Structure 1
Amino acid sequence: MTEKTKLIAPRLPRGFEDRTPGDIAAVGQMIETIRKVYERYGFDPVETPLLELTETLGKFLPDTDRPNAGVFSLQDDDEQWMSLRYDLTAPLARYFAENFETLPKPYRSYRQGYVFRNEKPGPGRFRQFMQFDADTVGAPGPEADAEMCMMMADVMDALGLAGKYVVRANNRKVLDGVLEAAGVTSDEQKLAVLRAVDKLDKFGQEGVKLLLGAGRKDESGDFTKGADLTDAQAAVVLDYVAGKPPADNEGVTELDAMQTLFDAAGYGPDRIKIDPSVVRGLEYYTGPVFEIELTFKVQNEKGQDVVFGSVGGGGRYDGLVSRFRREPVPATGFSIGVSRLANALKLTGNLGSKEPVGPVVVLVMDKDQTARYQAMVSELRKAGIRAEMFLGSTKNFGKQVAYADKRNAPAVVIEGSQEREQGILQIKDLVAGKQAAEAITDNAEWKAARPGQFEIKREDLVPAIQKLLSEQ
């Protein structure tokens, strides 16, 4: 084969994936469940484009001539840089600021769609993935933050995960107060302390203590450098981890107010709890932060039992909209990682994995009768039944039925010359046929039995198929 006619290898770029009808149907059902909860809370949908002006993305804007570090970017005819959205929050901030005069305040919205990260892909880490967000913009009080936590809990319940999750909440202001009280001032040391606190669930207080000091060596011998705090500094942080919050702290007051609302609405600590170990991307948040953690065990790549972990979270980000407007604009929200949550639902049996039911297939037994077959298909479609005429080139009956099987068709409609002369049709129930075939071991017996096949009058096509589908 010459270079000119060399075939292109069909392959995906790394970090992307194709989705099958079964995947799409199952995730679509999950998204519909989440949407109903959001709308029950009074949130409305809004959709922003995949591309934003790169400067809109704010903290994700890289300092390079071609801004492709972290985001996928291109330049338009006006020489303006545009980027595929990195998340759904920055576009919301732009949308709110651009439509400030006409939108209600507070503005309550939800958004669902793909986001893109120009990062190195890995196992379970994609460059394109779906998020489902809800946000309240323009509400400054902890009531809006508490509502987000309660809505997250209700979403988990609606998805069949009751008893398998906990929504954990903390406050950036509390952590800032702890760092200040401990005398931690450098950004590098602050980040090391927060990373140590974030490991509380994983390593316990002793592990956090090591990470606040010189560092920690794990079972394999790998060493993680610590924050290098003095014993006195570490004691302040450890007091906080043990449940002793800093005195006279605005964040503590806000968490207390949120707890009062949880108690009043009947959300106990088994569903929502205040947890000092919740850190999340703290450079982004200005107040309460929260995350949904699934508490059931799964096995990691080493065969060890581990908690499934976080499937979403968020917090208060009062500074983001203010990038576009002079006045302060408070905002709070959360984001669900759709793919990760779908994986969790598969593991718990709460996500349908069956292929969607395909169309009824009208077989083409005689090419010169396609108009008759097309009429049958049209009758079924007008009755609201998924249907198609076989459009392949083969005349072979078995191959046409095999095609219908691959389409997950519930039935095929057969009209040969003999049926046409008698004014009848043969209906082959593929679901019943598969079940009956399992009990028949002899091929000749199977052919003679023709399991799942029955005869109807031509004029009874629609009611017969409707009855068959209802029984299936």
Structure 2
Amino acid sequence: MAKPKKTPRPKAETPKGFRDYFGAEVTQRAEMLSKIAAVYHRYGFDALESSGVETVEALGKFLPDVDRPNEGVFAWQEDADSDKPGDWLALRYDLTAPLARVYAQHQNDLPKPYRRYAMGPVWRNEKPGPGRFRQFYQCDADTVGSGSVAADAEICAMLADCLEEVGIERGDYIVRVNNRKVLNGILDKVADRVFRVDPIDGDSEVIEKSIGVGKSALHSIADDIMRTLDKLDKVGVVGVVELLTDGRQDASGAFIPGLKIPPIAVEGLVKFLNAKAASNSVTISNLREVVKGSKQGEEGVDELEQIADLLDAQGYGPDRIVIDPSVVRGLGYYTGPVFEAELTFEIQDEKGRTRNFGSVAGGGRYDDLVKRFTGQEVPATGVSIGVDRLLAALDAKGRLDKTADGPVVVTVMDKARMADYQGMVADLRQAGIRAEVYLGNPKNIGNQLKYADKRGSAVAIIQGADEHEKGVVQIKDLILGAKIAENATHEEWKDLTNQYEVPLDQMVAKVLEILALYR
């Protein structure tokens, strides 16, 4: 008779693109979220906790094909094997799409404008990479129902306050602001110039063939143009011009095809990129000249000027918030002002190369999202902060508090006296001290102290039979003990002590005294 096959044991490993977070990491994130939430709350935003699962239809970006939704989300179909399959559901990929659904569903019960903040994990079914995970935290704040640029300016000011609240010093960050309408104005000007019928230079039909679109469809390649402009910091102006026109060879020698836009059109785009000046007022003046004649472009510049004036009135100058035409990331999604927070200090990457840390937050005005549900345009603006990116930035700058905050460990010298030890730990906890009784095998005091070290404990408490009889406890300062062991000579070691005998009724006071040295 054949032996039954053993059920294979599951592998104890995290799925690809995910990771586990322990002790200090979880605490650090919770503290950061608390600080950001305090700023949001101070600005008058209310908390919202929406479902982590939405229908794919509500998410909007990703729609199901015959078998499964497109890549980008983690999705499944309810009762997929039944005669009547249910809805496609997906883990949320951001916190903005759920907000649009919530607002459309509950708009009659919500104040207008509706100001909310939300924090929590989101999931992306994308290829993971170094520092890029499929689950990560976002921290959003949005105003829905206000078309005033004052709402956009407020988001920028709040973003700057959040960065400083969590420990990013002024001078180590900049909030950059642009406007989708300005770029649309540039495209209008480009179209007018490219497709102007000229008996000498040729007609629009020739140019249509050269770039593959006609005048009315030039905006259809706007996303491609924006993605190209977004490479400015990587390839410079010359590289951007090559990518807009005939193409270029990258560092590896591979040829990247260009967009085949005529040089006469590229001229306006380059002026747009080069409009940034030392002051917001000069940048705005340069942009106004570039979009002159485009109604939409001029409207966008007016909005940027209003935002700069509103921020200046609140004390947010160009040392913190600047008007910057090079901000093009996300402009395909946004309908008006767009903002991005960038950390300006340098770090060493995993290959030892020096580079700027880069963006940690972004947002802008999106007036079309709620319209998907209601059929009516609802103005909205907001920002999303990448909490994990911020934590990594603070770690790179050495600004994360990694001091051990382990519990005070009450060791067990006599299992029969467990009630006494529990009484000690209760006294410590009632004084607000994090504390625990050792619950492993108490046979060896050395192992108990090793446990305390592994927990990152600053203090261990010992009471054997002799101490119990005298009504005292031994209190070991573990941090000082480690320093003595590491640095002191043998002669110094004999004269130094990290252990104190105190009466039991003075235990709490002595522990507080020691802990105060390390906080």
Q: TM-score band (shorter)?
A: over 0.9
Answer yes or no: is 1:198 the counterpart of 2:200. Answer: no
Distance (whole Å) between structure 2 residues aligned to residue 440 and residue 166 of structure 1: 46
For 1:435-457, what per-residue CA distance to the aligned partner results, in whole angstroms no more than 9, with x for missing partners? 22224455x996x7783111122
1:201–1:68: structure 2 CA closer, same or farther, 3 Å change rule? closer
Distance (whole Å) between structure 2 residues aligned to residue 263 and residue 31 of structure 1: 28
SS at match of 2:107: coil
Residue of 364, 389, 403 corresponding to 1:315: 364
SS at match of 2:261: coil
1:265–1:451: structure 2 CA closer, same or farther, 3 Å change rule? same
SS at match of 1:149: helix
TM-score by length of 2: 0.85
Residue in 2 aligned with 1:178? 186
SS at match of 2:385: strand
For 1:175-219, what per-residue CA distance to the aligned partner results, in whole angstroms no more than 9, with x for missing partners? 122223222635663233212221223333222211111112233
Residue in 1 aligned with 2:211? none
Residue in 1 aligned with 2:433? 385
Residue of 89, 92, 103 corresponding to 2:96: 89
* Matched pairs, number: 469
Residue of 132, 141, 154 corresponding to 1:125: 132
Distance (whole Å) between structure 2 residues aligned to residue 202 and residue 283 of structure 1: 20
Answer yes or no: is 1:106 the counterpart of 2:85. Answer: no
> Aligned partner of 2:143: which letter?
T
Answer yes or no: is 1:157 the counterpart of 2:159. Answer: no
Residue of 53, 56, 66 corresponding to 1:54: 56
> Aligned partner of 2:458: which letter?
P
Q: Please report how far the alpha carbon of residue 398 of structure 1 lies from its aligned counterpart in structure 2 after TM superposition.
A: 0.4
Residue of 350, 355, 359 corresponding to 1:306: 355
Residue in 2 aligned with 1:358? 406
Answer yes or no: is 1:220 the counterpart of 2:252. Answer: yes
Residue of 444, 450, 468 corresponding to 1:396: 444
Residue in 2 aligned with 1:375? 423
Q: Please report how far the alpha carbon of residue 362 of structure 1 lies from its aligned counterpart in structure 2 after TM superposition.
A: 1.2
Q: Please report how far the alpha carbon of residue 301 of structure 1 lies from its aligned counterpart in structure 2 after TM superposition.
A: 4.5
Answer yes or no: is 1:331 the counterpart of 2:363. Answer: no
Distance (whole Å) between structure 2 residues aligned to residue 19 and residue 413 of structure 1: 29
Q: Where do 5+ consecutive residues of structure 1 fail to align?
A: none
Distance (whole Å) between structure 2 residues aligned to residue 101 and residue 399 of structure 1: 62
Q: Please report how far the alpha carbon of residue 150 of structure 1 lies from its aligned counterpart in structure 2 after TM superposition.
A: 1.6
Identity %: 50
1:445–1:258: structure 2 CA closer, same or farther, 3 Å change rule? closer
Residue in 2 aligned with 1:281? 330
1:450–1:195: structure 2 CA closer, same or farther, 3 Å change rule? same
1:410–1:72: structure 2 CA closer, same or farther, 3 Å change rule? same
TM-score by length of 1: 0.93
Q: Please report how far the alpha carbon of residue 62 of structure 1 lies from its aligned counterpart in structure 2 after TM superposition.
A: 4.3
Q: Please report how far the alpha carbon of residue 321 of structure 1 lies from its aligned counterpart in structure 2 after TM superposition.
A: 1.0
Distance (whole Å) between structure 1 residues aligned to residue 332 and residue 186 of structure 2: 16
Which range moved further: 203-212 or 73-82?
A: 73-82
Which range moved further: 189-198 or 319-328?
A: 189-198
Which range moved further: 155-164 or 94-103?
A: 155-164
Residue of 400, 413, 433 corresponding to 2:481: 433
Answer yes or no: is 1:453 the counterpart of 2:453. Answer: no
1:30–1:430: structure 2 CA closer, same or farther, 3 Å change rule? same
Distance (whole Å) between structure 2 residues aligned to residue 470 and residue 170 of structure 1: 48
Residue in 1 aligned with 2:315? 266
Deviating 4+ runs (over 4 angstroms): none
Q: Please report how far the alpha carbon of residue 144 of structure 1 lies from its aligned counterpart in structure 2 after TM superposition.
A: 0.9
> Aligned partner of 1:119: which letter?
E
C-alpha RMSD over aligned residues: 2.3
Residue in 2 aligned with 1:468? 514
- Please tell me whether the aligned partners of residues 68 and 118 of structure 1 are also in contact (alpha carbons under 8 angstroms): no
Distance (whole Å) between structure 2 residues aligned to residue 294 and residue 2 of structure 1: 60
SS at match of 2:141: strand
Q: Where do 5+ consecutive residues of structure 2 fail to align?
A: 80-84, 192-214, 276-286
Residue in 2 aligned with 1:35? 37
SS at match of 1:294: strand
1:187–1:122: structure 2 CA closer, same or farther, 3 Å change rule? farther
Residue in 1 aligned with 2:291? 246
SS at match of 1:438: helix
SS at match of 1:99: helix
- Please tell me whether the aligned partners of residues 426 and 455 of structure 1 are also in contact (alpha carbons under 8 angstroms): yes
For 1:259-299, what per-residue CA distance to the aligned partner results, in whole angstroms no more than 9, with x for missing partners? 22123223222221111121122332111111011122223
Distance (whole Å) between structure 2 residues aligned to residue 300 and residue 21 of structure 1: 25
Residue in 1 aligned with 2:19? 17
For 1:397-437, what per-residue CA distance to the aligned partner results, in whole angstroms no more than 9, with x for missing partners? 10011101111112111111122222222111212222222
- Please tell me whether the aligned partners of residues 437 and 451 of structure 1 are also in contact (alpha carbons under 8 angstroms): no
Q: Please report how far the alpha carbon of residue 64 of structure 1 lies from its aligned counterpart in structure 2 after TM superposition.
A: 4.2
Q: Please report how far the alpha carbon of residue 72 of structure 1 lies from its aligned counterpart in structure 2 after TM superposition.
A: 1.0
